[in-house]
Amino acid sequence: MRKGEAPGRIEAIVGPMFSGKTEELIRRVKRARIAGLEVQVYKPAIDDRYSAREVSSHSGGRMDAVLVEGAAEVLRATAHGEAVDVVAIDEAQFFDEAIVGVCDALASNGVRVIVAGLDTDFRGEPFVHMAKIMAIADQVTKLDAVCEVCGAPATRSQRIINGMPAHFDDPIVLVGAKESYQARCRKCHVVPGKEALSI
């Protein structure tokens, strides 16, 4: 790296559903492009809620993206393309755990990595590889939403099935939006079947 040249880095944008993570990723990508940087945006193939070929925020923001099946494909696509200054990865919690090493390898090779995703699942427990990305990130931006029950700052994603909170033993991954999830604060977040620790 030459003196004055920007080093690689990892910027993690995390929070619950409806907190503006993708909107923030799009904002940073737009600024990078204004600065004349070469940017590549990736999204997991599993996330086709709004568009198969775009990163899309709940508020309607959109940006073209490359659809990939797994984390290793991000590394391969970046290595075989033109020189890339910035790699943006949306919905990182849907990737396999190899996404941690991919982000680290890209940053070590001088790429600015912007990675957005849920920090916790519907049970309020960490997505393991997102926790690892946060640990190795150079910058972590943790966003909150607005609790749909009481209006307080929301840090949890409440899954709703047939009008009721999902059970602790339900599958971890369920791609959805307003029809399946609500933003909730810690107090209003309910997970039937989850044992509470008493102090």
117-149 in b/e form (b: 16+ CB < 10 A) is bbbbbbbbeebebbebbbeebeeebebbbebbb
Q: Measure CA of the first residue to CA of the last residue in the chain; give whole Å.
A: 51
How far lies 174's CA from each of 105, 109, 159, 177, in Å? Answer: 29, 34, 9, 10
The token duo for 63 is: 């940006």
How far lies 197's CA from each of 167, 194, in Å? Answer: 17, 10
Lookup result for tokens 């080093």: 7
Q: Looking at 11, 23, 73, 91, which residue is catalytic? A: 91
Element of type H or E holding 75: helix 71-80
CB 40 within 8 A of CB 77: yes
Active site residue 91: yes
CB atoms within 10 A of CB 95: 28
Catalytic residues: 91
